[in-house]
Structures are given as structure tokens and as C-alpha cells.
């Protein structure tokens, strides 16, 4: 069972996205795709006069920003990806967490930061999800969930991938891949040759304290360690070329 999350500049670069989806389509067996789309949402927000706010890689989402991310994530990006997967003979269906009550969340309650309409995942509808997979459907999840009371919530796509992987680990040996434009987690963000081949929690804590790892990589790695501790078999971070080449340089996450 493979769960692939794509983000970063892959979403914004049509050639990279097309190649990534072609690589994804060649994966045999059950698989799920999860996508972000933060840069597109930021551009759209700025074009209508909104000022995006991020804290440690997580977007502050007021009511106006929520309208933007729902439109971009669940609409434009999700349906374009589904259409391209169909062109690659992959029978994909696009979902938000609200569809089929697949992912229910609760509004984040932080002691000092008001994240707005941001959700933390509470429950995955594993019965429906496994039925979809057994029917040969390839689910494509965007970064939108719901609270079960009619409210949509912006939810970190890395977290969605992690929670899906954890939920499915009771039924499958799950491999989770985080794909972006870089070859892996880097010692030096400006040097693509500085890939950290293996990261454990001790090294992660050290690099985070030194600010060598920051921004959106923090929630990604937090989710990785949480997933491994809850039954996910294998996690790798790197360029989408690793989907078809086991020898590709990338970062492997270990406890």
C-alpha cells in the first residue's frame, strides 16, 4: 500500500506534475494521492488583496482565506490532477474530507495562536476508504476536511497523508512518500547535493534547534515520526523520481 503526498513546486510546474502523475500511475497495487497547493492559494489570495499568514509552515485561515483554499485545493487543483490521472489510465476520484465523511476534523484549539478555520484530524472513515480501494478506485485527497457540523476546515496535507497512513496500517503494510521538488531533506537548503540520507528523532531535534530545518519541513517531519510510531512501515521524503526508482537518493525517516 502506497500513500503519496505531493506538494511544493511540483503542483506549480506543469511538466513536473505531469511526470510525477505518470510515475504515480505506474505504481502497482492499492495507492492514494494527497496533494497540497499552498503556493497557488497564496497567489490567488494576494490577487484579491488578502495577506497570507504562515506560522511554522501552517496557514492561518480566516473566513476569506478559507473560501480561497477550498476553491483552489478542492476545485482547481484536485480536479486537474484527477483528469490527468484518468489520462494515465488511473481510475482516480477526487475527495475532500467531507465527501463520504472520509476525514472528520475538529477546529484547532491552540493556547496562544488563533489559526482560524484550521482542522486537526479526528477520524478517518476506514470502512468507506477500504471499500473504495478494494473497488479499484484511486482516491485523490485535497487538504480540506470538515467538522461534521457543516464547517469545512483547512487541514495540513502532510497531516492528512500521515493520518490516512496510520488508519490504513491496520490493514496494509503502508509506505508513505512525501514528494516535492528537492531530492530530500537538505543540510543546506541552497545545496541540492546536501541530502540527509537518514533522519532519526535525535538528529531532527538537533537540526531544528540549529534552525537548519524550519518552515514547512517541521510539520512534515513531525508527521513522519508520529506515523512511524503508530504502525506505518516506511517513510521517504524526496523527488518524485523515487516513486519508480528504489535507488534514487532521498531521505529515509527512522525512529
Which CATH fold would you assign to the domain 2-253?
Carbamate kinase (3.40.1160)
Residue 57 has a pLDDT of 66
Global pTM? 0.94
Average confidence (pLDDT) over 153-170: 96
Q: Which residues are annotated as a binding site?
A: 37-38, 59, 154
Helices (H), 136-215: 157-168, 201-209
**Band of the pLDDT at 218, cuts 50, 70, 90?**
confident
- Alpha-carbon distances, residue 199 vs 4, 13, 165, 187, 204 (angstroms): 19, 28, 19, 11, 6
Q: Which residues are annotated as a binding site for substrate?
A: 37-38, 59, 154
State the cell numbers at 101.
465523511
Average pLDDT over the chain, rounded to an integer: 94
What distance in Å separates the CA atoms of residue 239 and residue 217, rounded to the nearest whole number?
14
With contact defined as beta carbons under 8 Å apart, do 235 and 201 qualify?
no
Amino acid at each position: 500500500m502506497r500513500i503519496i503526498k505531493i506538494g511544493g513546486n511540483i503542483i506549480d510546474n506543469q511538466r513536473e506534475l505531469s511526470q510525477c502523475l505518470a510515475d504515480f500511475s505506474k505504481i502497482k497495487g492499492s495507492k492514494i494521492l494527497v496533494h497540497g497547493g499552498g503556493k497557488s492559494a497564496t497567489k490567488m489570495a494576494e490577487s484579491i488583496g488578502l495577506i497570507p499568514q504562515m506560522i511554522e509552515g501552517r496557514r492561518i485561515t480566516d473566513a476569506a482565506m478559507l473560501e480561497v483554499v477550498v476553491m483552489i485545493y478542492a476545485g482547481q487543483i484536485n480536479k486537474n490532477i484527477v483528469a490527468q490521472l484518468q489520462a494515465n489510465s488511473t481510475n482516480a476520484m477526487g475527495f475532500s474530507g467531507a465527501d463520504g465523511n472520509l476525514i472528520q476534523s475538529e477546529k484547532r484549539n491552540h493556547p496562544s495562536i488563533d489559526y482560524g478555520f484550521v482542522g486537526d484530524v479526528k477520524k478517518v472513515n476506514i470502512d468507506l476508504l477500504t471499500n473504495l480501494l478494494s473497488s479499484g478506485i484511486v482516491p485523490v485527497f485535497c487538504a480540506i476536511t470538515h467538522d461534521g457540523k457543516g464547517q469545512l476546515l483547512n487541514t495540513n496535507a502532510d497531516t492528512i497523508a500521515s493520518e490516512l497512513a496510520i488508519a490504513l496500517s491496520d490493514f496494509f503494510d503502508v509506505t508513505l512518500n512525501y514528494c516535492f521538488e528537492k531530492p530530500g531533506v537538505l543540510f543546506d537548503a541552497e545545496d541540492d547535493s546536501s541530502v540527509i540520507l537518514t533522519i532519526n528523532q535525535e538528529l531532527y531535534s538537533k537540526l531544528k534547534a540549529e534552525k537548519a530545518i524550519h518552515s514547512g519541513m517541521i510539520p512534515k517531519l513531525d508527521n513522519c515520526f508520529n506515523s512511524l510510531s503508530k504502525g506505518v512501515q516506511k517513510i521517504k521524503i524526496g523527488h518524485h523520481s523515487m516513486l519508480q526508482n528504489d535507488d534514487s537518493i532521498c531521505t529515509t525517516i527512522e525512529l
